[in-house]
Every structure is written in C-alpha cells, then in structure tokens.
Amino acid sequence: MIKFTNTEIRDLITAFIIISIAFAIANVGLDVHNFLSILPIVMVGVGLGFIFRELGHKYVAMQYDYRAEFKMWIIGLLIALASAFIGWVFAAPGEVKFHPDEVTDEISGRISIAGPMANMTLAIIFIVIAALIYPLISYPIYHLIYLICTVGFSVNSFLAAFNLFPVYTLDGLNVFKWNKGIWFVVFAISITMMLSSILIGAENMVVMIIESV
C-alpha cells in the first residue's frame, strides 16, 4: 500500500503551493486580476503533476522493496519563485530519498524515471481531453476544462523535461547514471513536448490534432 508520511505531506503541499504560484507569475506576471484568475487553473495541473509523479516513484520503489520519500528543497523553491519573474520557472522543488539508503544505479534509475514518465503521460491525457472537448468550448464549463487541460499539458511537459536534466536533486541524474540510452530517448521526447508547448502553444496543438484526424 502506498503511504505518505506527515513530513512528506507537508513538504508536498508546501512545494505544490510555491511551484503553482511560480508558474502563475511566469505566465501573467504581477497583474493581480490575471494572477488570481490563472492560479486555480495552474494549481490543478501542478497538483495532479506532483501527485502522479510521487505515486509513480513510490509504486516502482515498492516493486523493489524500497521506499521513496519526497523531501522539499527550500533553496530550490526560492529560486523557482525568483526565476518566475523572468518568465521561466526553475522547477527544482525537492528530491526523492530512498530507504534504505543503499540502492543500485539501476534501481534508483528505474524509480526516478517513473516520475517524469508520469508527468509525460498526464500531459498527453490533458492534450487529448482538450482536443475531445474543443468543439464544446463555447459552453463555460467545457471552456474551463479546456483551459485546465491546455495549461496542464504545458506544465506537466515542462516538469517532465526539467526533471530529466542530469543534475543534482533532479530525477534525470539517477536515470543518466543507470542507462544513458534510455535517458536520452525519454529526455528527447520530453524536450520535444515542452518545446511544442512553448513554440507552438497547447491551443494550436489542439487545433492541429483535430485537423489531422
């Protein structure tokens, strides 16, 4: 059974709130009205991203009789807030600790890759839902769901790509140490998704998907 400790729940909630605020600021700046409007939408995408990412880590860890626990990184969260003001979120809210501490590169790599994979899967689900309900966005409720899905795609694509960079505290380092080939393929896919959301835009991607079917 997947369990979260009280400390982990506290760390996850803290990181979730700060990263949500950072993404909201990065999108609309300090305009209070726009910030308050987009914050709840961003929180859905970030919240689900955090939950599925940690569930992925924990599920895979359980298969190897290990326990994965999220630990927030205060400095990383402060950097995320500061970087948001230039329109780019340095999303390194924490790291995953393994228990017991001694773990092979393969096992740590498999556990770590589960997080970004969960974000990528969630991003794809978001964009598919957005495409399915696009013909109905003239209705307020469907328009809201559409906004949540397009923002959710962008946020989770970014979280997956960013966390696959092979640097300290990020999942990518463990994946890179384990298998550079797998790291490269997954990283390339995540970067493609992230750049598509930035350069093309989730809304335009939805239109392209609809026109292609």
- Is the C-alpha dihedral spanning 120, 73, 51, 135 positive or negative? negative
- Catalytic residue among 8, 54, 69, 95, which? 54
Q: Per residue in 131-166, is it b (16+ CB within 10 Å) or e — as a string?
A: bbbbeebeeeeeeebbbbbbbbbbbbbbbbbbbbbe
Q: Can you give the pTM of this predicted structure?
A: 0.89
Domain ranges in the chain are 6-212
> Does 54 participate in catalysis according to the annotation?
yes
- Average pLDDT on 73-101 reads 87
**How far is Cα 90 from Cα 38, in angstroms, rounded to an integer?**
19
pLDDT digits (tens, 9 = 90+) for 101-131: 778 999 999 999 999 999 999 999 999 999 9
pLDDT digits (tens, 9 = 90+) for 43-67: 999 889 888 988 899 889 888 988 8
Residues in the chain: 213
| pLDDT (0 to 100) of residue 128 | 97
* Nearest residue to 123 via CA among 155, 90, 163: 155
Give backbone dihedrals phi and psi of 73, rounded to 5 degrees, phi first: -115, 105
